[in-house]
Chain A
Amino acid sequence: MAVYKQTYRGYEGPTTPEWSRALILYRYALRAVFRSKLLLGFYLICFVFPLVDLIAIYVANHASFLAGLGIRNFFAINRSFFYSFVHYQCVFAFLYTAFAAPGLVAPDLAHGGLALYLARPLRRFEYLLGKILVLVALLSGLTRVPGLFLFAVQCVMGGAAWRSANAWLGWSIFAASWIWIIGLSLLALAVSAWIKWRVVAGAALLGIYFFGAGLGGAMDLVLNTQNGGLLDFMQLHLLVWSDLFRLAPPPLALEREAWAVLIVLALGSLALVLRRVRPLEVVR
């Protein structure tokens, strides 16, 4: 039979806006993360510490109740309190990321899914944006959102005097959280992109955390310096945060160096991700 009718036509109806394509990946990836009961449970456990801090804020602002119990000089809700909150909550966020992040890019690379994505009208930038938005959303939920919520609660309970003296803390919490979110998200994506095996990528993230801290300590010991903290991912952030929260810095102030290392780390992670996320792979 001769093929002459040519009645087939492709889809010609309306399409979704181009800018929303990244959100499709974001939606599906987020759904995939929460499909795991283990990850869901872990995520919920990470809210225990903010809950404890919420109770502490309430208790600290009702000192008369404590005085009635004979407790005086309860801790103050101040910059150190919020600095500690950000510190510990970011540790939980890191542990969560070690489990959740590797599943974002590694499986697409390992099973050839990336070529399928990029064979659609989806650019590399949109693919990466969709994936990184998942981490931003998850980590925001663990750090920025509860931190600002606690700050808002304290602003209400602490009164006008506290508010006017500490309004800048809101910005500190916001900025500190974002620095952590961006740095950790890029690092996690880079590890996930370069280590195709999801479980090994998670172990590598943890290894970077522990090994970096150990190496920094060893460097301080051997070379008799105090710069070892620049190799410690957590310590880098603590140095930067101590500046944001206007706390006394360590004896050898390294905030500027810490900023520089964080920026280099973020850019390096981004470069690694871009190198790996490509639509084709040449086998030699």
Chain B
Amino acid sequence: MTPGARQWLAVFRREVRKAFLARRGWWIYLLALAPFLLFFAYSVQTHIEAGQRQAWAAEQSKHLAPSDFDGIHRGTSAAELEAALGQPARKERFVRRRRGSHDEIVFNDVYWYRYSDGSTLYDISVVNGAVTRIQRRPGPSLGDVGVLFANVFEFFYLRLAVFFGCLGIFMNLFRGELLNKSLHFYFLAPVPRARVLSAKFAAGLAAAVVVFGGSAWLQMFLLGRVVGAGGLEHTAAYLGVTALACVGYGAVFLAAGLLFRNPIVPAVALLLWESAVPFLPALLKKISVIYYLMQLCPVNLAAAPGTPALYALLVSAPDAIRPVTAIAGLLVLAALVLWISTRLVRRMEIDYTAE
């Protein structure tokens, strides 16, 4: 192994260890695990509901089919409800506290009638003797959990979890060393600064991809098990998008760590910029990470019926471009940002008193 490769590996090993094992970095694991825990709760809920579908069907007074519920709507009286559907499997009473028209406290009894047709659970709320709400809970299909995962992935996981996780990992690479007064150890070694930067970036990327990619894979595996499949469709695509998100956000936050003392500034700026991508001109759109990532997400959520307009705008692919173009665009953007970072690092001066 050449001395240069040994140096690169020495920096990489040290940084990977810091990225994975730093006591201050536990919150990144929490960010990555949060959606997994949500889906775990979902799997438990689904498992319980699966049991309820059969149990309720046996406990209610009538055997019901989906068409039996077509005649039930808002305003149907409780008597009509029971006449049509029979005694429910469960009838639960809740007391709801509300404000009356004269600011007085009003207590309403809310009754929840629970039915099942064997494949779908029905929760019907009755207030003051009339139906106010009908909630259907069918068993999830592979398509349903796929859409569910896509929603969480595109709106929450990429934009918040991976975003803030990469902020923490990559801004720490240089800014954290400056705050710890330990950056001079690298700058006082016979290692070209570009090599230090590349090794640090690689280490941060390895940590981010393992943590967030691993969590994404676990989420998809778990959701696949919910519907009895080995995993979800498009697993490789989602893992690829997660990895590319780490590359893009990683490069941006590495540069931000070199330019800004306060990470709030680039974080808020980038968050606002990426939220505004649907409204930006074509050229400016390309200067964002989320623009390319949305092109690569395999499920088109905006097309789903009933999607709110603003939400659809945020989760839709801004332009229809080919995946290869999107990948190349993101990699070019990341490479450009890393090149700028290399120039910044070469000219960097160490002044710990300013931190």
Which A residues lie at the B interface, using CB under 8 A? 98-99, 195, 197, 199-200, 202-204, 206-207, 210-211, 214-215, 217-219, 221-224, 246-249, 253, 255
Contacts and interface: CB of A to CB of B under 8 A. Distances in A.
3 smallest CB-CB distances across A and B, nearest first, come from A214-B160, A218-B156, A199-B262
19 contacts: A197-B176, A197-B179, A199-B175, A199-B263, A199-B264, A202-B262, A202-B263, A203-B167, A207-B164, A210-B271, A214-B156, A214-B160, A217-B156, A219-B38, A222-B39, A223-B41, A224-B137, A247-B99, A253-B98
Contacts of B175: 199
Contacts of B176: 197
B58 interface: no
B126 to A, nearest CB: 15
A202 B264 contact: yes
B275 to A, nearest CB: 11
B96 to A, nearest CB: 6
A219 B97 CA distance: 24
A98 B262 CA distance: 11
B159 A214 contact: yes
Interface of B: 24, 27, 31, 34-35, 38-39, 41-42, 45, 96-99, 103, 137, 148, 151-152, 155-156, 159-161, 164, 167, 175-176, 179, 261-264, 267-268, 271
A24 B90 CA distance: 63
A254 to B, nearest CB: 11
B163 to A, nearest CB: 9
Nearest to A217: B156
A221 B42 CA distance: 10
A210 B96 CA distance: 30
B152 A206 contact: no
Nearest to A224: B137
A206 B264 contact: yes
A247 B148 CA distance: 33
A204 B172 CA distance: 13
Nearest to B135: A224
A209 B24 CA distance: 19
A215 B41 CA distance: 13
Given A99-B264, A197-B179, A203-B264, A223 B160 contact: no
Contact of A206 (B97, B99, B148, B268): B268
Contact of B164 (A202, A211, A223): A211
A253 B160 contact: no
A221 B152 contact: yes
A95 to B, nearest CB: 9
A98 B160 contact: no
Contacts of B271: 210
Given A222-B41, A248-B98, 4 more contacts: A215-B34, A218-B152, A246-B99, A253-B97
Contacts of A215: 34, 38, 156, 160
A200 B99 CA distance: 43
A199 B261 CA distance: 7
A129 to B, nearest CB: 27
